Homo-oligomer: A and B are copies of this chain.
Amino acid sequence: MSRSIDLAVIPGDGIGQEVVAQGLKVLNAVLPEDVKLETKEYDFGARRYHASGETLTDADLADLKAHDAILLGAIGDPSVPSGVLERGFLLKLRFAFDHHVNLRPSRLLPGVATPLAGQPEIDFVVVREGTEGPYTGNGGTIRKGTPHEVATEVSVNTAFGVERVVRDAFARAQARPRKKLTLVHKNNVLAFAGHLWTNVFNKVAEEFPEVTTDYIHVDAATIYLVTDPGRFDVIVTDNLFGDIITDLAAAVSGGIGVAASGNINPSREFPSMFEPVHGSAPDIAGQGKADPTATVLSVALLLRHLGYDDEASRVEEAVSADLGARGDSTRTTDEIGTALAVRV
């Protein structure tokens, strides 16, 4: 294990600045003294876009590539047309660094409110494919703006891309106590992609005889997520279905205030990126109201990815303890971050 971490920090827009500061505070507090943490801050997002028209250049990518990992707050602002930063920064980075494992754990922690009745047990992780599906930008428009416009979106799925993420998900399921993996797709309608996913899934399953498997259509999966979320252990799914069900998963397991994610390149050829699932929330930005918990949990994912398993667990335990003790207290972003830094 390397005893130094060279981290790229992208606070981004809105509350991104505030929550990332707390993530770094906790990271500094949890790391052993002999681990040298170096950080370099990058000013991506709306400000940079307005100043220069740039979202993410080749030179930026070369700079970022040199780091061990990336911590991101949030990117997005109402002053930028919808899609520009999403596609020009977030998706561009996922594709450039081949972040094919988009990891999104859902755990309903003690003391956390859920919109579901009866405080069900929730502890699963979604492995969302991050570089294929309808996110590739394939497709186009003809006769734009006329009554005869036709717009297409092409979902691209390759055996290479599906197999590597399915294998990653099986390995994660194998390492968990329940050892269960659910494939979520819509193979009864999207038969071309559905056949590929189902076939690869069944083939890789043979390498993991201890893992129990099942298959659920994406529409039915949303039902289970609200009526029986405890049935899930690990879910593997495509880019678009993963986008949809992880927002729902975050909502039922305590809200996007506590939902963490990792955009992971398991080969480590490129740095992986860790970020809260929530956005930049411009309506509450700069007021110290944002909950940094999702960012702190993303720091735990970052630590585990870099091999600091004990430190990752300590961060997660600190968050659990803090949430359990929270009650009705309203604390500022900074106070929550400090409380977590003290606990780790």
Bound-state CA distance A158–B153 (Å) is: 12
Say yes or no for A37: interface residue by CB 8 A criterion: no
A240 at the interface (CB under 8 A from B): yes
Interface string of A287-298 (1 = CB under 8 A from B): 000000000000
In the assembled complex, which residues on chain B have CB atoms less than 8 Å from the CB atom of A163?
Answer: 147
A78 vs chain B, min Cβ distance (A): 12
Q: Give the Cβ gap from A278 to chain B, nearest Cβ, in Å.
A: 10
Q: Is the CB of B151 within 8 A of A83?
A: no
* Contact indicator B158/A149 (Cβ below 8 Å): yes
Answer whether residue A256 sits at the interface, using C-beta atoms and an 8 A cutoff: yes
B192 close to A152 (CB less than 8 A): yes
Given contacts A116-B115, A157-B152, A189-B87, contact A222 B196 (CB under 8 A): no
Q: Hey, what's the 0/1 contact readout for A123-167 against B, CB within 8 Å counting as 1?
A: 000000000001101111101111111111111111110010000
Does A190 count as interface, using CB distance less than 8 angstroms? yes
Closest-by-CB residue of B relative to A145 is B199
Complex Cα spacing A91 to B186, Å = 14
User: Given contacts A83-B188, A189-B83, A223-B247, are A160 and B134 in contact (CB under 8 A)?
Assistant: no
Is the CB–CB distance between B247 and A222 below 8 Å? yes
Q: Do B140 and A159 touch across chains, with their CB atoms under 8 A apart?
A: no
A192 and B222 contacting across the interface, CB-CB below 8 Å: no
Nearest CB of chain B from residue A33's CB, rounded to whole Å: 41
Given contacts A87-B188, A191-B83, A240-B186, A155 and B135 within 8 Å (CB-CB): no
* Contact residues of A between 87 and 128, Cβ < 8 Å to B: 87, 91, 114-118
Q: Once bound together, how far apart are the Cα atoms of A240 and B145, in whole Å?
A: 23
Given known A-B contacts A134-B155, A194-B83, A189 and B91 have beta carbons under 8 A apart: yes
Whether A4 sits at the interface, judged by CB under 8 Å, is: no
How far is B146's CA from A199's CA once the two chains are assembled, in angstroms?
A: 11
Assess whether A204 is interfacial by the CB under 8 Å rule. Answer: no
Does A155 contact B156, Cβ atoms closer than 8 Å? no
**Contact partners of A115 in chain B: CB under 8 A:** 116-117, 226-227
Query: Which A positions have Cβ atoms within 8 angstroms of B?
Result: 82-83, 86-87, 91, 114-118, 134-135, 137-141, 143-160, 163, 186-196, 199, 218-220, 222-223, 225-227, 240, 243-248, 250-252, 255-256
Q: A189-B243, A222-B248, A222-B251 are in contact. List 20 more A-B contacts (CB 8 A).
A: A83-B189, A83-B191, A87-B191, A115-B116, A115-B227, A134-B134, A135-B189, A139-B192, A143-B159, A145-B199, A147-B159, A147-B163, A150-B157, A150-B158, A152-B154, A152-B157, A152-B192, A153-B154, A153-B157, A227-B255
Sorted nearest first, the 9 A-B pairs with minimum C-beta distance are A219-B247, A222-B248, A149-B159, A151-B192, A153-B155, A151-B196, A223-B251, A83-B188, A117-B117
Task: Enumerate 11 A-B pairs (CB-CB under 8 Å) in ascending A order.
Answer: A117-B117, A117-B118, A134-B155, A141-B196, A151-B192, A152-B192, A153-B154, A153-B193, A155-B155, A223-B256, A225-B248
